[in-house]
Amino acid sequence: MERRGFLKLAAAGALAAQPLAGAPRHERGMGARTVQKPLSGRRILTFNSVIRVNQIEVTRTRNEGFDEFDRHTPANVEALRAAFAEGWPGAPMTWAFSWRALFDERENYREIRRLVAAYHRKYGDDVTFIPGAYFANAYNTRDQVDRDLHEGLARVSEIMGGGFRPKSVIAGFLSSANQRFLAAEEGIHVCQGNIWSQYAIDNQDGDGSISYPYYPSSDHFCRPAQGTGDFVDCVNLDGWTCDFIAARREGLDWARNWNSRMGVGPIETIGWFGPEVGLAQMIETTAAHFDKGFELNGWAWVTNCWEVSLVPQIQNLDALTRWTRRIRERWPGAECLTQGDFGLAFRSQHGNNEGLDYRFLQRGTGIGGSDRNLEVRWFMNRDFRLALLRDWKAGTPELVIDFTRYDLSAKEPEGLTRSWSLLGKMNQKQTRPQDKPVPLSELTRDDLDRIFKRCPELHGGKRTGGETSDKL
């Protein structure tokens, strides 16, 4: 996604994981019947790309930003695919076409569609549709998004031939109602439908979710489903793995040289800091999951998206090759899956959100907004997300910077707006007076009981500088 701050170009109980009943428009749960290997013990990368005509195709007929026709050439698509293949030979990836890119009859788009179909046959790449260029619900009614999804996915099947159906959809943000439509009417049970921590970046806000897979609630796409009554059978995935220290910031700051979206994405790393420093940030963000995250959760996932439009702009495709090669060298057992196969593996293992218990610990890299002296612990589950921040060098106690309860009611906006965040009792961006960091002990008794039930290790103790995390 060409984030406008960087380019300055765009406008300022168990539920079985099985196919649903009924007669769908397409075979329901096509990929879900395949026996999936459990996630335990695995380090998984998913890598995506987007092909479009205009920078932000907000509707079928309206654009924001500028025409990217000259960036979307067969040569640039081939260069991106070759750089990825050189770093990780044989690995599959996921391609998403915008509405216009699916229908544009200029020769470069006809050839790009032929190329991507060939990559499916050669590498097993998945091919899908992206509605609204990341911000479909900010500019379209839910009914219109459903129509776009249905007709866009049908067009993908037509281009690919042979009865092909995508295993997932890339959407940036996608409302719960539209994710329900994907599952119930289109037979697609995996969606990249949230961008974790995004706030004051691009054309839509969506902070408040958990960063690893979950089933969304019918009330709000950022809220994990609480039970069968609000369950949406679509695995909701993040779009870019972020540095947890940088992500607590609001938006971006050119003067201070930081961007809250910094992590593995190319814009905020290679684009901001050049290939060497940018690559170092990408690797360290990956390591936060493939090392400590793997230790805490028993498996790990990193995801990235590199739009074709970035190929001529950032120009350092070698960094993509080096990043993927380093992953294979440092973590020899790591796997690369399509986004759909990853989501279906989660769906095969988890029929609902009850067993979700994600934990992360990351120290700053010293790059951009990732303060080297800070350390954050995240706890994410069906009931809440909780973040504890401290200065590990100074040995200060941890403070709560985010506590978002998911058992409380939530509601998505009705109108067309950028404001789709789910801001809890405290939010990491610190945009409200109530977001001032406090010791864990200052939360209410009810909140503490809820936290200690899920995270008993937090009961009765304060984290200080002398404990085991300093051995990272």
DSSP 378: E
> 38-349: which CATH architecture?
Alpha-Beta Barrel (3.20)
State the pLDDT at residue 264: 98
Q: What is the DSSP letter of 19?
A: P
Contact between 350 and 17 under an 8 Å Cβ cutoff? The reply is yes
363-391 pLDDT, tens digit each: 999 999 999 999 999 999 999 999 999 99
Instruction: Name the DSSP class of 333.
Output: T
Residues in the chain: 472
In whole angstroms, give the CA distance from residue 30 to residue 341.
11
Dist CA 193 CA 131 (whole Å)? 11
User: Mean pLDDT, to the nearest integer, of 203-223?
Assistant: 97
Among 358, 370, 361, 380, smallest CA distance to 424 is for: 380
- Give pLDDT tens digits for 393-416: 999 999 999 999 999 999 999 999
What was the pLDDT predicted at 423? 97
Which phi and psi angles does 85 have, rounded to 5°?
-65, -35
Would the pLDDT of 465 be above 50?
no
pLDDT tops 80 at residue 447? yes
For residue 32, the model assigns a pLDDT of 40
Q: Average the pLDDT over 297-317 and give the result.
A: 94
**Whole-number pLDDT of residue 326:** 98
Query: Distance (Å, rounded) from C-alpha 149 to C-alpha 26?
Result: 13
- The answer to whether the beta carbons of residues 69 and 6 sit under 8 Å apart is no
What is the structure's pLDDT at 461?
A: 57
Please report the pLDDT score of residue 464 as a whole number. 39
CATH 3.30.1120.110 domain span(s) along the chain: 359-471
Phi, psi at 294, each rounded to 5°:
-60, -40
- Whether 418 contacts 132, CB under 8 Å: no
Q: Which amino acid is at 156?
A: V
Q: With a cut of 60, say whether residue 20 has pLDDT above it.
A: no
Q: Quick check: 29 pLDDT over 60?
A: no
Residue pair 148/132 in contact by the 8 Å Cβ criterion = yes
Find the range with the poorest average confidence among 8-12, 218-222, 444-448.
Answer: 8-12
**Residue range 68-107, pLDDT digits in tens:** 989 999 999 999 999 999 999 999 999 999 999 999 999 9
- Cα–Cα nearest to 214, from 176, 186, 165, 241: 176
- The pTM of this model reads 0.91
* Residue range(s) of every CATH 3.20.20.510 domain in the chain: 38-349
pLDDT band at 34 (very low <50, low <70, confident <90, very high): low
Q: What is the mean pLDDT of the chain?
A: 91
Residue 31 confidence class, pLDDT cut points 50, 70, 90: very low
Q: Which CATH architecture does the domain made up of 359-471 adopt?
A: 2-Layer Sandwich (3.30)
* CA pair distance 256, 270, nearest whole angstrom: 17
Beta bridge partners of 405: 384
Query: If pLDDT is split at 50, 70 and 90, which confidence band does 142 have?
Result: very high
Cα separation, 271 vs 257, in Å, equals 12
- Angle (deg, nearest 10), helices 176-186 and 142-160: 40
Q: What percent of the chain has pLDDT over 90?
A: 86
| Sign of torsion over alpha carbons 67, 250, 274, 292 | negative
CA distances from 217 to 179, 199, 336, 428, 448 (A): 10, 21, 28, 22, 24
**Higher-confidence position of 392 and 36:** 392
pLDDT: which is higher, 10 or 169: 169
Closest CA to 51 of 309, 271, 240: 309
Contacts of 463 (CB under 8 A, 6+ apart): 377, 388, 390, 397, 398, 469
- pLDDT (0 to 100) of residue 200: 94
Rounded to the nearest angstrom, the gap between the alpha carbon of residue 441 and the centroid of all alpha carbons in its chain is: 32
Pairwise pLDDT comparison (301 vs 9), residue with the higher score? 301
Residue 108 tokens read as 């470069």
